[in-house]
């Protein structure tokens, strides 16, 4: 997924104590060994009148998307996508009734404000991540939260609120992964500081880890270019975003992430992130390898790490040494988030981020946006 974050080149201060630990050797186990490299056919699942970013698919094949209110006051934040492509607000109209300009819902604590990500777990739940920053302007007090909805009943079963120590002004909670044991969530903060947020799902206590660490920051000199056009603000400042895409190994033991404006993939033992000593994490980070500008990351059930590649309208896979293209199409206009269906198909949203009025003043909103499926062939 993505966050609009603009800073002047060289505008980030990096603490010398936060340097990535040097690694003499990174294990070269391929995440997609020979014989496991799939081929796909691309098909459109649905298109939307509003800008979609996140997608989730359940074990039963139910599909959900979200709309983050970046440049418009979308009437829906989270929706279930029917087989004919129509949308149903989820879990109900009430949770989707908050509006930028006020209206029926006045409390950001129990309504969706600016949903950035939706993820289905292995325990019958849909998790909704709400950074509560419409227009990516400012964080609405009381709004940042992680919401658990029971899929069997369609009822909200848990709401974890994030205080200003985690969702401070300038933050943007971006994407989330759930440990398979159901105990912990890991969230990227692609905002002004860059961090990985660790959430205890039982107590609701959360902590920012790797706050300001080089691995969670935009990489100096990386500029996003789509079809030869550098993505910049009208005043010439570059588009930059911190830790964004995130993936978790099947056993939950290893977390992968990358800054959107970066070309380095990182990983860490999740035990180091959940340690009571935050310094453990900074010492145990590994550089996996050089990739490309990537937005969404996904670890499939058969152990393949997929990455979207917005600069080339592509979905790629990590081989253990490099990324290789598995799908390239002009239809994938800024491939954003990824999810896996029960049959092994990949679902990906095309959010058209680079075509937005943020970068092209006076341009119309980039509608429609789409949801695609990569079907194994």
Domain boundaries, the chain: 37-376
Q: Whose CA is closest to 371, among 139, 359, 361, 341?
A: 341
CB 373 within 8 A of CB 345: yes
Quote the pTM value: 0.89
Q: Between residues 281 and 144, which one has the greater pLDDT?
A: 144
Q: Residue 154, by phi and psi: left (phi above 0), alpha (psi -120 to 50) or beta? A: left
Residues 6 or more apart in contact with residue 54 via CB below 8 angstroms? 1, 65, 66, 68, 115, 116, 117, 118, 119, 129, 175, 336, 337, 349
pLDDT bin (cut points 50, 70, 90) of residue 234 is: confident
Cα 141 from chain centroid (whole Å): 22
pLDDT score for 224? 94
Q: What is the mean pLDDT of residues 271-275?
A: 93
pLDDT bin (cut points 50, 70, 90) of residue 27 is: very low
Q: How far is CA 300 from CA 88, 187, 204, 321, in A?
A: 27, 18, 27, 18
pLDDT score for 8? 27
- Continuous segment of H or E residues that includes residue 271: helix 270-274
Mean pLDDT of the chain: 88
pLDDT at 94 over 60: yes
CATH of 37-376, one of 3.40.50.300, 3.40.50.2020, 2.120.10.30, 3.10.350.10: 2.120.10.30
Q: What is the mean pLDDT of residues 339-346?
A: 97
pLDDT score for 32? 56
Q: Between residues 305 and 12, which one has the greater pLDDT?
A: 305
pLDDT at 214 over 60: yes
Q: Pick the range with the lowest mean pLDDT from 25-34, 145-154, 235-244, 326-335.
A: 25-34
Instruction: Count the alpha carbons within 13 Å of 295 in the hemisphere toward its beta carbon.
Output: 32
Q: What is the mean pLDDT of residues 249-255?
A: 97
Between CA 359 and CA 370, with CA 365 as vertex, the angle to 5 degrees is 105
Helix, strand and coil percent figures for the chain, each rounded to 5: 5, 35, 55
List the structure tokens of 348: 């990906």
- Continuous segment of H or E residues that includes residue 79: strand 78-81
CB 144 within 8 A of CB 191: no
CB 350 within 8 A of CB 324: no
């Amino acid at each position: 997924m993505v966050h609009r974050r603009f800073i002047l080149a060289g505008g980030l201060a990096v603490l010398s104590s936060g340097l990535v630990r040097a690694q003499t050797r990174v294990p070269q186990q391929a995440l997609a060994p020979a014989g496991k490299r799939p081929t796909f056919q691309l098909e459109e699942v649905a298109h939307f009148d509003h800008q979609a970013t996140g997608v989730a698919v359940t074990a039963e094949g139910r599909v959900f998307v979200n709309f983050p209110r970046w440049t418009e006051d979308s009437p829906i934040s989270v929706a279930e996508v029917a087989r004919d492509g129509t949308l149903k607000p989820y879990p109900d109209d009430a949770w989707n009734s908050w509006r930028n300009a006020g209206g029926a819902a006045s409390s950001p604590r129990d309504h969706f404000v600016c949903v950035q990500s939706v993820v289905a777990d292995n325990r019958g739940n849909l998790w909704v991540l709400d950074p509560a920053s419409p227009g990516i302007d400012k964080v609405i007090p009381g709004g940042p939260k992680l919401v658990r909805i029971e899929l069997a009943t369609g009822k909200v079963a848990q709401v974890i609120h994030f205080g200003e120590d985690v969702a401070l002004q300038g933050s943007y909670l971006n994407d989330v992964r759930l440990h398979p044991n159901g105990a912990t969530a890991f969230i990227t903060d692609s905002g002004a500081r860059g961090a990985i947020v660790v959430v205890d799902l039982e107590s609701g206590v959360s902590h920012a880890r790797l706050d300001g660490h080089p691995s969670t920051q935009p990489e100096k000199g990386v500029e996003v270019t789509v079809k030869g056009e550098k993505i910049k603000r009208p005043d010439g400042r570059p588009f930059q975003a911190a830790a964004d895409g995130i993936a978790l190994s099947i056993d939950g033991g290893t977390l992968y992430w990358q800054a959107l404006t970066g070309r380095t993939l990182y990983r860490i033992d999740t035990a180091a992130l959940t340690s009571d000593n935050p310094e453990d994490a900074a010492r145990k980070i590994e550089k996996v390898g050089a990739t490309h500008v990537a937005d969404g990351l996904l670890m499939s059930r058969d152990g393949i790490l997929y990455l979207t590649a917005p600069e080339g309208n592509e979905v790629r896979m990590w081989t253990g040494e490099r990324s290789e293209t598995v799908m390239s199409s002009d239809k994938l206009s800024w491939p954003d988030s990824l999810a896996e269906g029960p049959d092994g198909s990949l679902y990906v949203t095309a959010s058209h981020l680079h075509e937005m009025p943020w970068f092209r003043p006076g341009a119309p909103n980039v509608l429609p946006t789409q949801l695609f499926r990569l079907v194994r062939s």
